Amino acid sequence: MSVSDMFAALQGALGQDQDIREEIRKVVQALEQTAREILTLLQGVHQGPGFQHIPKKCQKAREHFSTVRTQMESLKTKFPSDQYYRFHEHWRFVLQRLVFLAAFVVYLESETLVTREAVAEILGIEADRERGFHLDIEDYLSGVLTLASELARLAVNSVTAGDYSRPLRISTFINELDSGFRLLNLKNDSLRKRYDGLKYDVKKIEEVVYDLSIRGLNKEATVGAGGEK
């Protein structure tokens, strides 16, 4: 084969790769738009009246996740199934955002931490790497760390809305989350930096709880803790 033939073949391969990346980008843009719609919907819980409509907002968010599952099915067809990590960077950030959104919905519904397997089911992908397009562990953990930051904000806004028991429950949850992360040997630099930010979320929530205690509102919160969430 001549040099010109060799480079012509290389150009063909490059063109094919660029076409794949462009198709992936189109689907990722659609996923990002859906993620923005879900986020906009859930941001309403931070407003005073929003606490009264949490179940409805979660229900609507889950309806949006049906669109996410359809978009994920499309994404799976845009690249060879054995080249997940070759193109992973294209959807990594939106996937982490979707993990956060799914985790936030589950927390608002049950005040529990969603499992990686449950998130994968919500998104319409696999939890097991061997089964194809899957939810990478580090993407799951990154989404959970974003949840922690969102809950720190929710703790502050709960006090503003007059819900004094919620910050106490959030504090318990975040401390359990922090204890869980301490069990991990995080070697990923990006994930490690994200985890380092968790201590600030813990501190922010502790300050909220302390303020409630100083103002004597923690007693009221404890009395009302057995009521409806």
Closest CA to 41 of 59, 57, 27, 55: 57
Q: By 3-state DSSP, what share of the chain in percent is helix, strand and coil, each rounded to 5?
A: 80, 0, 20
Determine the residue type at 102.
A
228 is in an annotated binding site: no
How many residues would you count in the chain?
Answer: 229
Burial 169-191 (b: 16+ CB within 10 A, else e): bbbebbeebeeebeeeebeeeeb
Secondary structure (H, E, C), 23-74: HHHHHHHHHHHHHHHHHHHHHHHHCHHHHHHHHHHHHHHHHHHHHHHHHHHH
Please state at what angle helix 84-110 crosses helix 137-160, rounded to 10 degrees.
30
Q: Return binding residues for Mg(2+).
A: 150
